[in-house]
A and B are shown apart, each in its own frame.
Chain A
Amino acid sequence: MALQDICCYLDTLLGAPWNSSSSLSLPFGTEHTDLYSTTSDQKNFFSGTPLERCGGSPLRFFLPPPQIRGQFGKASSFLSNSSPTSSAVARPFPLSHGTTTLGFAFQGGVIAAADTRASCAGLIACPAAHKIQPIHSHLVVTTSGSAADCMLWERILAREIRLYQLRHRRKLSVTGAAKLLSLMLHPFKGTDVCVATTLCGWDRETAEGDEGRTQQDPISSSYNGTSSQAVSDLNQIRPKATAVGRTGPKVCYVCSDGLMLNEDLISVGSGSPYAYSVLDDGWRWKMSVDEAVSLAREAVYRATHRDAYSGNNVDLFHITAHGWSRREREDVKEEYYREKERVWYDRLQIKLQFYAEHVLKFED
């Protein structure tokens, strides 16, 4: 599909507007006027120009006809060729929302962590969702907001980054990818598209030595927590002092309102206040990898404990200059029982000490 795009291969889907509303394989720079059928009563394809400018429209959207859109009492004569701002049809079902995700950078790379609960009004639609998606070997994206929106926009982002890599022979930086996603989402500002993602990645130096490494496969071994290997490798490839702003670990937040933030520590979702309190307490740039991993786990665990819409498991990704590696998924239920035992044991210790100090003395 990416190759098809570059070769400007015109797919036959273009000639069938009734089902091409969701074709992803449209060539770069196509004239979109021939898609607009002039006679049909209900065809109203939306194609935003910012999307064309950034490399071809990623997706065609079907807008409901004015009679349906206008049912909320507005005169909708002006809505026929503008963006779908206030005009979606009332949906008979709720979309999935609610989560805790976080990402932070430190001297040993970037940690991205998330829970795995996908909820839909009061029902847990999926207890084992994947909220952290790898985009390429050095970039992962955490999803928050509406699951379908996040999943599709991340597919589109992965496609655009891959196309960029094929056209320009280098990987787009994390900030660049964030900017691209933000621009792609901007036409949908005001609709109920709800995407709040954190792009966590490692920007690599674009020296000549990098060309050969762009085809490297991502490291995907499961991660056992003993990370002395990763730390010692890092010592050899610490970014240069002059380029410290452009290479190294990077965390960016992009949301469908149009916001793009460049920070060291971000948490998103309904459980983020609880995660922020734990992270703000424990984050330091010079943390070791073990400390960072356990901080991220603790933050997500505390958030799942207090937020009803987060829970089930903790997913953790660690991104270094070598790529991303994934830690095995952990059930928070186990941690809860471990902590309960610890608290019980501590209380027992206090009681025994009290007994020893105050009671045994008198019995001598």
Chain B
Amino acid sequence: MLSTQFSGNNGGMKEYHYTGPVEHKFSPYAFNGGTVLAVAGEDFAIVASDTRLSEGYSIHSRDSPKCYKLTDTTVIGCSGFHGDCLTLTKIIDARLKMYKHANNKTMTSGAIAAMLSTILYGRRFFPYYVYNIIGGLDEEGRGAVYSFDPVGSYQRDTYKAGGSASAMLQPLLDNQIGFKNMENVQHVPLTKEKAVQLVKDVFISAAERDVYTGDALMICIVTKEGVKEEMVPLRKD
């Protein structure tokens, strides 16, 4: 965390004029950027993330995807502080294994979401600085997306964007997938191909306007056949 002294509280940069003696405190958090997105369809779910890992003005890595495969029917996207993302995914993997050994079945998406909520709330007074979105198939084979806040509040949605460009992407998804804020429009159900194309377009827009999003896009498509990954280049500047 060499560059914490250069970062402000929310990942932006501190100003460069002299304000007097400043006390530097150790902050256990850093903001590593990145955007994740998940869309649920009739029989599929898509979880996508960019692969840029940044801190302040630097890019640590151009190949650090934020989607992690949990089971054959569930993928999680975690953005925020990379250290907490890694630990959280390790803990989730361990809990999944323990559940499998204790109950002889794989955890369903809904169960993983409920478990993650309690894991996050267990750290209510020293939270994991991670914005999670789980995408997968529910017991009936329909697509499900569960979005979390850093302290464990969660909700099942049809689509959700999280991370640094979430405020830019969410209104676009509301309009294109939820058909919100439009009058006299036919509600066409979303096909897998159209959803993938929409996700690519949306991330290209995010990379144009958000400095922490870019380099490449990793799309994980979850269907009953399993999880398929696709990598698409984005702008690298």
Contacts and interface: CB of A to CB of B under 8 A. Distances in A.
A12 B95 CA distance: 11
A116 to B, nearest CB: 11
Interface residues of A, number: 43
Contact of B125 (A92, A148, A191): A191
B118 A93 contact: no
Interface string A239-261: 00000000000000000000000
Interface string B85-125: 00000010011001000100000000000000111111111
Tell me what chain B mostly uses at the interface: helix, strand, loop, or mixed: loop
Contacts of B29: 92
A123 B163 CA distance: 13
A92 B10 contact: yes
Nearest to A89: B126
Interface string A113-151: 000001010010110011000000000000000111111
Nearest to B148: A148
A96 B31 contact: no
Contacts of A24: 118
A64 interface: yes
28 contacts: A19-B94, A19-B119, A21-B123, A22-B122, A59-B121, A61-B122, A61-B124, A61-B125, A67-B26, A68-B126, A71-B25, A71-B26, A84-B125, A89-B125, A90-B27, A91-B127, A92-B27, A92-B31, A92-B129, A93-B150, A95-B151, A126-B155, A126-B157, A130-B155, A148-B120, A151-B153, A151-B154, A155-B118
A152 B149 contact: no
Contact of B152 (A21, A126, A151): A151
Contacts of A90: 27
Given A19-B95, A89-B28, A64 B126 contact: yes
B188 interface: no
Interface of B: 9-10, 25-29, 31, 91, 94-95, 98, 102, 117-127, 129, 147, 149-155, 157, 167
Contacts of A148: 120-121, 124, 149, 151-153
A350 B77 CA distance: 59
A283 interface: no
A152 B125 contact: no
Interface of A: 12-13, 19, 21-24, 59-64, 67-68, 71, 84, 87-93, 95-96, 118, 120, 123, 125-126, 129-130, 146-152, 155, 191, 193
Nearest to A191: B125
B153 A147 contact: yes
B170 to A, nearest CB: 9
A126 B149 CA distance: 11
A16 B28 CA distance: 24
Given A92-B129, A152-B117, A152-B118, A129 B155 contact: yes
A151 B28 contact: no
Contacts of B126: 62-64, 68, 88-89
Nearest to A60: B122
A92 B118 contact: no
Given A22-B122, A125-B149, A148-B149, A93 B129 contact: yes
A148 B132 CA distance: 14
A63 B149 contact: no
A215 B117 CA distance: 28
Contacts of B129: 91-93
Contacts of A151: 117, 152-154
Given A22-B119, A92-B10, A152-B117, A64 B125 contact: yes
A92 B26 CA distance: 13
A56 to B, nearest CB: 15
Nearest 6 Cβ contacts at the A-B interface = A22-B122, A148-B153, A64-B126, A148-B151, A147-B153, A21-B122
